[in-house]
A and B are shown apart, each in its own frame.
Chain A
Amino acid sequence: MQSKDKPIISISQLTKRFGSVVALDELNMSVQAGEVHGFLGPNGAGKSTTIRVLLGLLKKTSGEVTLFGQDPWKNSASLHKQLAYVPGDVNFWPNLTGGEIIDILGELRGGLDEARRADLLVKFELDGSKKFRTYSKGNRQKVALVAALASDVMLYILDEPTSGLDPLMEQVFQTEIRALKDQGKTVLLSSHILSEVEALCDRATVIREGKDVAVYTLAELKAEHANLEALFLSQYKDK
């Protein structure tokens, strides 16, 4: 169990190179237990790369990364028992149904809450009997969302989870995340949707070209700028 002041995710001077391309450049970020932490940045800034390093899918070039206090590269399989992931690009097996995929991922995460699963399928208006390849983009995302939200873990890593959803579903999503927060869970939310980050996040790390540019609490933001959009523009305009 994490102690109150030890971060669930701690990233320090993380660098990731692919050949000569520097994807992450001495990135720093930390996510405390029980917070909803936003992860903001333009396309290609390195958000997904960072998440992949956290998940043990990519090997860091240099720097320190800890997840639940351990090395995510070495202990990925055991650490993953405590987290659920929604990928930015949802790709699942085309001939399995949404329901089957949710069950499979749930089992591989250590178990699904049946009541919660049924409840989420209703709330997100998802028909679990259709084969994955027949779903629209938004529905594909819902499969990944329901699979993640139906599991009972400590950390949720969500990579642009609502980019294909309509405003109604966006509200459903936000309600669910608030519920998780009330339960003391931790959420890392990578998102482009500023209103979503404003509505949900306690703090947000802004990343640009592989470097962390700023970390803001929402209170600080609201004090300094009218909204995050101005923040975005002010951070990015000097390119």
Chain B
Amino acid sequence: MWTLIKLILRRDRVKLPVWIGVISLSLLSMIPVLQKTYGDQSSIDVLYQTFSVNPAGLFLTGPVDAPTFGALVTIETLLWWGLAIAFMSTLLIVRHTRHNEETGAQELLLSGQIRRSSSLAAALIVAVAANIVMGLVIGGGLVLIAGEYWSPEHSWLFGAALALFGIVWSAIAAAVAQLFENTRLVNGVLAGLIGIAFVARGIGDFMGKVGSDGLLQPAWISSLSPFGWLQATRPLTFPDWSPLTTSLAVALAVSAVAFLLLARRDVGMGLVPARKGRTRASKFRRTGLGLTWHLQRNIAFGWLVGVLAMVGTIGIMTPEMTNIYDSSDSIKMLVESLGGQGALIPAFLSAMLAIIILMVVAYALQGLGKLRDEESSGHLESLLATKLSRRRWAMLHIGTVVVTSVIMLALTGCVMALGVNLLTDIEVSVAEYTLAGLSYGPIVLLFAGLYLLLFGIVPRVAGLVTWAYFGVVVFMTWLAPVMDIDKSIMNISILEHLPASPAEDIKLAPMLWITGIALLLVVIGFTAWSRRNLIER
């Protein structure tokens, strides 16, 4: 078993430290950032009062327990970093359990002198250890840098709560991995469960009542969700270690279930049998476009659901925003810098639009990633041995992704405007917002061009580099306004060059030159693709 653990650690020797490092360090770096934005007690007081009277914000961030800096840090970080940790843990477990079985590596391992349950045990041990390490780094880090805001006990509880949160999700992943044969399905189900758990907690907070101690008591539904247990520890305000026992108990129970399920099935199979498919391909699926759509379909729908969910949430939160933004100068400044001029609701919506646009770009990157996927997996070899040409194949995928992205952009603006019109007594122009969404089209084209350029010249790093640049743009959009970064550095992010419509007028010039660059990249990328060897794996 120790060998298996060493194998897992060796396989993830870069991944694990990066995950742990990025999560912990980004969390710790939020402390000074938040201190800068919300430094004065008056902003914190306003935040406290606003949250006490309006339930909409609770859905996204949870309650502000007290007018303290600790409460502020909690609502800004606990749940979001929890999300990241949930994904880190579940992906880790699935990678070393179900994925191994799917690739056949598991068969090879099991022909050695190990028990069937050893692999699962090894994966769980590594996940638990990783979460503990991360909890220690976060807790210790907070002790070091946040000593002036709260006592060490608060910091350690924060770390411990997040660690146990990750451990619970590791256990859940272990159980779900026993159910289905297909890794993608397992990851999809887990992502869905994480989403449902988050929403359940949100609903619980939304419907909660303020108790006699002035703290929000969430409705019962929160107590079914790991996010609920995480939040109930209230680490930075009124620390309570008891919800950790719930987490621990659930983690142990679910792990036991996972082992039970493991014992009941064959290696390589799931407890839920795989569905049979059609014997003949439909007329549409036999065409190049049909096959392309089959490969792109799930990615498109998944992101579409996510984008629409975000838009819906923003629509619900809009009316409450006026209260918060009107009452603090520093927050007003923040919104102004994100692009708002004049009326604050359009400013807020434009800022939110820009963020959802980034989700559409993320979709586009994942869809475009299929190009490299198909090549490296060997699927493309058989396709290119037919009359399908390289160019047509690439165009089919790129075209599908770009068209879907444009539809998503238009829908985002349109639904956002419709939502605001329907749910609040503010009236905005649906046409204006739809056009605003579309005005970000060149950004998507630019990323497509960048990906294609890299795909043609250095395919192995195409995904890595485009996602890295995406990360830079996200960072600039989200954090830079509060960190006062120099304008010349901000301009690295392509999003900086487009006005925040519709609060700011749509400018044709940047749209044109960004599209121009994108087309140039596409042409170069295409040419390079036509000229290079097919590189697998």
Contact = CB atoms under 8 A, between A and B. Distances in A.
B75 interface: no
B382 A87 contact: yes
B277 A57 contact: no
B531 A110 contact: no
B389 A76 contact: yes
Interface in A78-100: 78, 80-81, 83-85, 87, 89, 91-97, 99-100
Which of A58, A92, A93 counts the most B-chain CB atoms under 10 A from its CB? A93
A130 interface: yes
Contacts, number: 114
Nearest to A85: B385
Tell me whether chain A's interface is mostly helix, strand or loop, or mixed: mixed
B387 A59 contact: no
A108 interface: yes
A59 B382 contact: no
B227 to A, nearest CB: 32
A164 interface: no
A89 B279 contact: no
Contacts of A83: 385
**Which one of B277, B290, B294 has the highest number of Cβ atoms from chain A below 10 Å of its Cβ?**
B277
A104 B285 contact: yes
A50 to B, nearest CB: 14
Interface stretch (B303-311, B373-381, B466-474): B373-381
A128 B278 CA distance: 8
A109 B384 CA distance: 10
A188 to B, nearest CB: 13
Q: Classify the secondary structure of B's interface with A.
A: loop
Interface string B263-293: 0000000000011111111000111101100
B387 A103 contact: no
B533 A59 contact: yes
A130 B273 CA distance: 12
B9 interface: no
Contact of A92 (B276, B279, B379): B379
Interface string A99-127: 11101111111100000000000000000
Interface in A185-222: none
A100 B280 contact: yes
Given A57-B381, A131-B277, A133-B102, A103 B286 contact: yes
A100 B382 contact: no
B277 A56 contact: no
Interface in B367-409: 377-379, 381-390, 392
Contacts of B275: 131
A99 B385 contact: no
B532 interface: yes
Interface in B179-238: 181-182
A52 interface: yes
Instruction: Give the one of A56, A99, A103, A157 with max B CB within 10 A.
Output: A103
Interface string B171-183: 0000000000110
Nearest to A52: B534
A58 B533 contact: yes
B459 to A, nearest CB: 14
Given A59-B531, A100-B277, A129-B278, A108 B386 contact: yes
Interface string A138-180: 0000001000000000000100000000000000000000000
B369 to A, nearest CB: 15
B295 interface: yes
Contacts of A110: 387
B377 A91 contact: yes
A77 B285 CA distance: 20
B388 A108 contact: yes
A103 B291 CA distance: 11
Contacts of B532: 59
Interface in A43-65: 52, 55-59
B306 to A, nearest CB: 21
B383 A108 contact: yes
Given A59-B531, A134-B274, A99 B182 contact: no
B382 A144 contact: yes
B296 to A, nearest CB: 12
B382 A109 contact: no
A27 to B, nearest CB: 17
Contact of A104 (B102, B291, B378, B392): B291
Contacts of B287: 107
Given A57-B384, A91-B379, A97 B276 contact: yes
B182 to A, nearest CB: 7
A77 B382 contact: no
Contacts of A107: 281, 286-287
A191 B286 CA distance: 30
Nearest to A81: B387
A97 B338 CA distance: 49
Nearest to A73: B531
B534 A89 contact: no
A104 B384 contact: no
A96 B387 CA distance: 21
Nearest to B275: A131
B277 A76 contact: no
A85 B279 contact: no
A103 B280 contact: yes
A93 to B, nearest CB: 6
A106 B286 CA distance: 8
A99 B290 CA distance: 15
Nearest to B185: A95
Contacts of A78: 387
A158 B216 CA distance: 70
Interface in B485-528: none
B281 A55 contact: no
Contacts of B280: 99-100, 103, 128
Nearest to B104: A137
Contact of B278 (A81, A94, A100): A100
B347 to A, nearest CB: 45
Contacts of B379: 91-93
Given A59-B532, A108-B388, 14 more contacts: A58-B533, A58-B534, A80-B388, A83-B385, A91-B377, A96-B281, A99-B277, A100-B280, A101-B281, A107-B286, A130-B277, A131-B275, A133-B182, A144-B382
Interface of B: 102, 181-182, 274-281, 285-288, 290-291, 294-295, 377-379, 381-390, 392, 531-534
12 contacts: A57-B381, A59-B531, A59-B532, A80-B388, A84-B385, A87-B378, A87-B381, A95-B277, A104-B286, A108-B288, A110-B387, A134-B274
List 8 tightest A-B contacts by C-beta distance, closest first.
A91-B378, A103-B281, A77-B389, A108-B386, A97-B277, A107-B286, A85-B385, A100-B281
